[in-house]
Structure 1
Amino acid sequence: ANQLACLLRQEGLQQGEAVGILLTRSVNMVVALLGVLKAGGTYIPLDPNYPRSRLDHIIEDTALRQVISQSNTHELLALTGITQWLLDDNQLQQQLSQYPTTNLARNVNANSAQNCYLIYTSGSTGKPKGVSIAHRNAMAMVQWGGEFYQQDELAGVLASTSLNFDLSVFELFVPLSFGGKVIVVENILSLLSEDIAGIRLVNTVPSGIDALVSAQRLPSSVVSVNLAGEPLKKVLVETLFAEHSLRRVVNLYGPSEDTTYSTYYEMTSAPSKEPRIGKPIANTQVYVLGAQEELLPLGVTGELYLGGAGVANGYFNQAELTASRFVKNPFSHEADSRLYKTGDLVRYDEEGQLCFIGRTDEQVKIRGFRVEVAEIEHHLNEHNSVLEAIVLVTQGSNEQQLQAYVRTDEEETGLAQQLRSHLLSALPEYMVPSRFVFMAQWPLSANGKIDKQA
């Protein structure tokens, strides 16, 4: 990582400049992240499983000049004029070996407002939007993680999450910052077929852990389980404690705009009620506010606003959207203090723990990934055979699923596959509906609008 950082600096990497990471999951992935940060750059995750058009949008939006890739991923980039460093190339390895392995002089500190990374999430306009996370934001979450988790839990943390999903920030940087070990796998379902020793902490989504429990593949070495990204059901936690010798299960909540985790709910035994999203982590403030941004009392549902050290810089190159979601903090005397409007509806229970109720908009979570259904509808409506499309979320046997309703006057034969292929050319696979329903006309309500409930 130090040698890579030396190379990047020598090649003219500017302070805070973005560098793309287009790598499969391996030791080289971790080397690349650390190398970019040590050089003073900002890392931009580019998932090799994403469609080329989505990768190109991220590259154009961030004006990337350099991408760290490898021999089997570099051809995914259609854009020219970008320097690509192939970490598995023998010539580059020889070049890197000429640089010192010692730490570089730091040109950024832990309190810096400079961007540390950008994560692109689904956007309602049809294009993904980048969330700008500063070093000070990431350090606040890492510091909390190092204090909350014990050394033997961090001694073997499973890293199973895509870099494009911010659970990866916890999985990689918390254990490495506190002398722990990172165990990199392709994804959480790798444990269904692989026997991996030394895993102490698993950090994933409820549907992922449910698959392992159902197949009896959660390693016996695991002492703690972190679950985030989806609503956590009481029955799953009961099963975990009944079938495994766990120290604790932690239900974690947090949007990318507040740096991975904002609140936590710790369980050391089977809960008597549905798991809450709990209370704020260190250096985070939570507010349940009404329509006039007034504080609401215990038990009353309102929108969750987040403040504190984790609040991101905003949305990259989107000043108007940033201003609408990152608002002045009326509860702080600091002039630059801001709150993030999550769009999540919550309330306090009688014990003062936050309960998640729902959303103020149509944003959903699918296998932990944040999805704006408007982005899917945007791409469906671009297809020549589609008059209009609506995407809704339905409850499958184990998890929520996306279902597309398509108004069309064409033959349905083969159209579902055409639409699926069309969406896969622009969207990650997790955003493609599992089912398409074709309709000649919409069901309308009494006021003449589409009756989505029907």
Structure 2
Amino acid sequence: MVSPTLHGGFLAHAAKHPDTAAVFSDTGVLTYGQLDEASAALAERLSALGVGPGVPVGVCVERKPDLLVAILGVLRAGACYLPLDPQYPASHLAFMVADSETHLVVTTQASRDACPDGCTALVLEDVETVVGPSPVASVPDDSAYLIYTSGSTGVPKGVPIRHSSCGAMLGEVDRIFADCDMSGIAAVTSVCFDLSVMEIFSALSRGRALVLVDSAAHLPESSHAERVTYVSTVPSAMTSLLDAQAVPAGLRTVVLGGEPVRRSLVDRIYRETNVAFVFNGYGPTEGTVFCTFKLVSPDESGEPSIGTPSLTARVYVLDEELRPAAVGEPGELYLGGDGLTWGYLNRPGLTAERFVPDPQVAGERMYRTGDVARLTEAGEIEFMGRSDLQVKVRGKRIELEEVEARLADCPEVQTAAAAVLEQTADTRTLIAYVVPAVEASDQSGPWLDAHLQAVIRKKLSAKLPDYMVPESIAFLSELPLSPVGKLDRTALPSPPSVEAMPSGDYATTDTERALAEIWGALLDRSPQSIGTRDTLYDLGGNSLLLVRLAKRIGQRFSRKVGVADLFRFRDISSLAKWLDDESGSSPEVIEQARRRASIKRSMVRGQSPSSST
């Protein structure tokens, strides 16, 4: 029987099977009984502080089992949790807390300093059992969580989701994945994104094991990777795992979403791994994680559709008059059903604009997704793109206007535009075009300025999460305009390639030169364009490349290098010092690494190895 609340299934299983392992993490393992006891104590403490239904409580905890204790404790107190990633900029966290009128944040000693000012911080390590009023149980119409998404007005918007919507989603997960091995579910998604809800509670509400890691890039290094049978992630992350040959051997089910899914990727998964089922899922945060699914068979051909609606969702493809579009004709995707939120928090105007009466169901509303789709002859839905300026990069939902608004806040910027560059089917990057406040002389066409780019990206990083900071910035003397004076996005030029030293210093040691060769091969750029103080992100890389980078460095220097090491040593200078100090690499090993990287570089460039220098 499906529980009417998000956490009800967890309570039932913990009562019957307290000794079953619930959460596996490299920082510890918790049984259902331990998780039950710790979250119950937190719920009692929260109730004593006046927390109850309708009260948002922040959860600012690093990715370790305490994160699950905090989320469950808030839910058991009858409140809704507001996820606050400790890695997010302070101003971003402060906005979410102020906008949601959150006054209490559950945290840990490690993340205490990341909590916004003006809130009461309840540190988990200090929670003791108290005697007080019992927590008020949640009812289906209460909000379970509040997630903020990127906003077209330049500020994020809060999306509250009810327990009843979560219960409907979990019931559909049971139905759709009935034939799949769900015994070990990987939790790889930040709790600031709603996919994490399906990961966490399709495990804990059904008595399964949850393998908690920092991200998909960290999955291969988890000491519990062999337990993983199921993962939900974005196509770009799955591509990175495949490229690094780092897919867990026991993985049997992959759910892809957040980005267009290509047939070539599905074929690779079936061909190169032990995976038995690949699903393509679609759904906005406003509809509770997913609203359509497609089991993509290895025997099919053509690009995968996003499938058919779940049994609890109403999905329409409508024309401009809100009439059903003919089969094969494009229209806007509208969403209704049990998973639909009631609107945006404190945004009545935007709520009225995006949530409109459903002409086919009296008294119900439907959400204008802004996605363009069409129905196929087979009754499936084919995703075609966006009708506005919302984009998805590595599965993260981004409003270009919000990025542009933050760019405009920088004194170095006169005006700016943000765009997505699709280099390959599975590689999309967020870039910015900036007209600098100080006029550049003798510049025609787009140009690069490493110092100015670093200054602007640093200021953006103080206001935006990492995934919303453009990976590269091209500078223009003016933005292209349409005849009516509006930005002509179609006329934005291709960014210039980088062949000159962008910043930092030239590599001087053998290890630095070898690393520059490896980075160059991975990023498809000249090693001479890589400074020893540049980070992978400065050069247009992203976290998904770290899996492959760690493997290549480890192989070529004959030592274990993990993704966590690359987060600690972000530039070539610090990474080279660590490698030299820890391994005492000999000149012969370094020279071999340089030769291998040079050959790989030549292959990327389409040259013969002998022509490479």
Measure the CA separation in 1 of the matches of 2:292 and 2:462: 36
Work out whether residues 308 and 380 of structure 2, in 8 Å CA contact, stay in contact via their aligned partners in 1: yes
Q: Is 1:74 aligned to 2:112, yes or no? A: yes
Match among 408, 414, 421 for residue 387 of structure 1: 414
Moved more, 8-17 or 342-351: 8-17
Q: Map Cα deviations across residues 342-394 of structure 1 (whole Å, 9 max, x no partner).
A: 00000011211100001110100011110001001001111222111011111
Question: SS in structure 2 opposite 1:350?
Answer: coil
Measure the CA separation in 2 of the matches of 1:69 and 1:159: 20
Question: SS in structure 1 opposite 2:227?
Answer: coil
Structure 2 gap segments, 5+ residues each: 1-38, 441-448, 492-613
Structure 1 length as normaliser, TM-score?
A: 0.93
Work out whether residues 286 and 341 of structure 2, in 8 Å CA contact, stay in contact via their aligned partners in 1: yes
Deviation at 1:226, TM superposition (A): 0.6
Deviation at 1:194, TM superposition (A): 3.3
Q: Is 1:203 aligned to 2:232, yes or no? A: yes
Aligned partner letter, 2:190: S
Aligned partner letter, 1:403: I
> What corresponds to 2:336 in structure 1?
307
Q: Map Cα deviations across residues 409-448 of structure 1 (whole Å, 9 max, x no partner).
A: 5255621111101110100011111111111123344555
Work out whether residues 60 and 115 of structure 2, in 8 Å CA contact, stay in contact via their aligned partners in 1: no
**Superposition pairs of residues 362-381 of structure 1, within 5 angstroms:** 362-381=389-408
Identify the structure with the greater helix proportion: 2
Question: SS in structure 2 opposite 1:453?
Answer: helix
Identify the structure with the greater strand proportion: 1
Change (3 A) 1:65 1:330: same
Q: Is 1:8 aligned to 2:38, yes or no? A: no
Deviation at 1:148, TM superposition (A): 2.1
Moved over 6 A (4+): none
Question: SS in structure 2 opposite 1:36?
Answer: helix
**Superposition pairs of residues 46-57 of structure 1, within 5 angstroms:** 46-57=84-95
Change (3 A) 1:78 1:114: closer
Moved more, 15-24 or 378-387: 378-387
Question: SS in structure 1 opposite 2:489?
Answer: coil
Measure the CA separation in 2 of the matches of 1:244 and 1:289: 39
Deviation at 1:220, TM superposition (A): 1.3
Measure the CA separation in 1 of the matches of 2:181 and 2:324: 37
**Superposition pairs of residues 289-438 of structure 1, within 5 angstroms:** 289-333=318-362, 335=363, 337-397=364-424, 398-410=426-438, 412=449, 414-438=451-475
Aligned partner letter, 2:478: Q
Change (3 A) 1:409 1:105: closer
Question: SS in structure 2 opposite 1:37?
Answer: helix
Work out whether residues 278 and 354 of structure 1, in 8 Å CA contact, stay in contact via their aligned partners in 2: yes
Q: Map Cα deviations across residues 296-351 of structure 1 (whole Å, 9 max, x no partner).
A: 11111000001110111210011111111111111113x2x110110000001121
> What corresponds to 1:136 in structure 2?
164
Work out whether residues 105 and 115 of structure 2, in 8 Å CA contact, stay in contact via their aligned partners in 1: no
Deviation at 1:116, TM superposition (A): 1.0
Q: Map Cα deviations across residues 277-297 of structure 1 (whole Å, 9 max, x no partner).
A: 010112111111000111111
> What corresponds to 1:452 in structure 2?
489
Work out whether residues 188 and 219 of structure 2, in 8 Å CA contact, stay in contact via their aligned partners in 1: no
Change (3 A) 1:152 1:278: closer
Structure 1 gap segments, 5+ residues each: none
Measure the CA separation in 2 of the matches of 1:449 and 1:261: 35
Deviation at 1:34, TM superposition (A): 0.9
Deviation at 1:153, TM superposition (A): 2.2
RMSD: 1.8
The structure showing larger relative contact order (alpha-carbon pairs under 8 Å, at least 6 residues apart) is 1
Question: SS in structure 2 opposite 1:179?
Answer: coil
Measure the CA separation in 1 of the matches of 2:196 and 2:372: 25
Change (3 A) 1:256 1:395: same
Match among 28, 33, 39 for residue 66 of structure 2: 28
Measure the CA separation in 1 of the matches of 2:148 and 2:290: 17
Q: Is 1:123 aligned to 2:151, yes or no? A: yes
Work out whether residues 344 and 350 of structure 2, in 8 Å CA contact, stay in contact via their aligned partners in 1: yes
Measure the CA separation in 1 of the matches of 2:450 and 2:193: 36
Measure the CA separation in 1 of the matches of 2:320 and 2:180: 45
Measure the CA separation in 2 of the matches of 1:32 and 1:212: 30
Measure the CA separation in 1 of the matches of 2:136 and 2:177: 27
Aligned partner letter, 2:152: S
Work out whether residues 45 and 118 of structure 1, in 8 Å CA contact, stay in contact via their aligned partners in 2: yes
- Structure showing greater radius of gyration is 2
Measure the CA separation in 2 of the matches of 1:99 and 1:26: 28
Aligned partner letter, 1:238: D
Match among 200, 204, 208 for residue 180 of structure 1: 208
Q: Is 1:83 aligned to 2:83, yes or no? A: no
Question: SS in structure 1 opposite 2:226?
Answer: coil
Question: SS in structure 2 opposite 1:153?
Answer: coil
Q: Map Cα deviations across residues 205-252 of structure 1 (whole Å, 9 max, x no partner).
A: 111111111111111111100111111110000011111222210100
Work out whether residues 70 and 106 of structure 2, in 8 Å CA contact, stay in contact via their aligned partners in 1: yes
> What corresponds to 1:39 in structure 2?
77
Q: Map Cα deviations across residues 185-220 of structure 1 (whole Å, 9 max, x no partner).
A: 100000243352211101111111111111111111
Measure the CA separation in 1 of the matches of 2:131 and 2:250: 39
Change (3 A) 1:275 1:151: closer
